Copies of this chain bind each other. A is one copy, B any other.
Amino acid sequence: MSKSVTLKDVAAKVGVTSAAASMALAGHERISAKTRAAVKQAADDLGYVPSSAGRALRSQRADAVALVVPNSSAHVFGHLYFMHVLTGMSTAANAHDAQVIVSTNADTSDGGVAYERVMRSRTADGAIVTSAAIDDTHIEALVASGLPVVLIGNYPHLTDAVSVGIDDVAATERLVEHLVTVHGRRRLLHVSGTLDHQTGIDRRDGFLRAAAAAGVTDVTVVEGDLSEASGAAAVERLLAERTAGESLPVDGIVFANDDMAVGGLGVLRRAGIDVPGEVAVVGFDDFGFARVTTPGITTVRVPAEEMGRIATERLFELVDRRPGGAAHTELPVEVVRRGSCGCDPDETPDPS
Contact = CB atoms under 8 A, between A and B. Distances in A.
A146 B1 contact: yes
A229 to B, nearest CB: 12
- Copies of this protein in the assembly total 2
30 contacts: A1-B147, A4-B120, A49-B112, A49-B116, A51-B57, A51-B121, A52-B53, A52-B122, A53-B53, A53-B56, A53-B122, A57-B57, A64-B123, A77-B83, A77-B87, A78-B80, A78-B84, A80-B288, A86-B102, A87-B104, A90-B102, A90-B104, A94-B104, A99-B101, A99-B118, A100-B101, A101-B101, A269-B294, A293-B294, A294-B294
A50 interface: yes
A191 to B, nearest CB: 17
Contacts of A114: 94
A44 interface: yes
Give the bracket for the number of chain A residues in contact with chain B: 35 or more
Contacts of A1: 145-148
Interface in A125-182: 145-148
B99 A2 contact: no
A121 B52 contact: yes
Interface in A20-57: 44, 47, 49-54, 56-57
Interface in A287-340: 288-289, 292-294, 305
A106 B94 contact: yes
Interface string A60-94: 00101000000000000111101110110010001
A107 B4 CA distance: 21
A103 interface: yes
Contacts of A84: 78
A118 B262 CA distance: 40
A99 B90 contact: no
A122 B57 contact: no
Interface string A237-270: 0000000000000000000000000100010010
Specify which of A2, A78, A90, A145 lies most central, judged by the most chain B CB atoms within 10 Å of its CB: A78
A57 B53 contact: yes
A13 interface: no
Give me the 9 closest cross-chain CB pairs, A-B, nearest first.
A49-B120, A53-B56, A53-B57, A294-B294, A52-B123, A94-B106, A1-B146, A52-B121, A90-B104
Contacts of A100: 101-103
Given A79-B83, A288-B288, A288-B289, A50 B99 contact: no
B49 A53 contact: no
B49 A121 contact: yes
Nearest to A123: B52
Nearest to A269: B294
Contacts of A262: 292
A110 interface: yes
A305 B78 CA distance: 9
Contacts of A57: 51, 53-54, 57
A91 to B, nearest CB: 8
A24 to B, nearest CB: 15
Contacts of A83: 77-80, 82-83
Contacts of A86: 102
A27 to B, nearest CB: 13
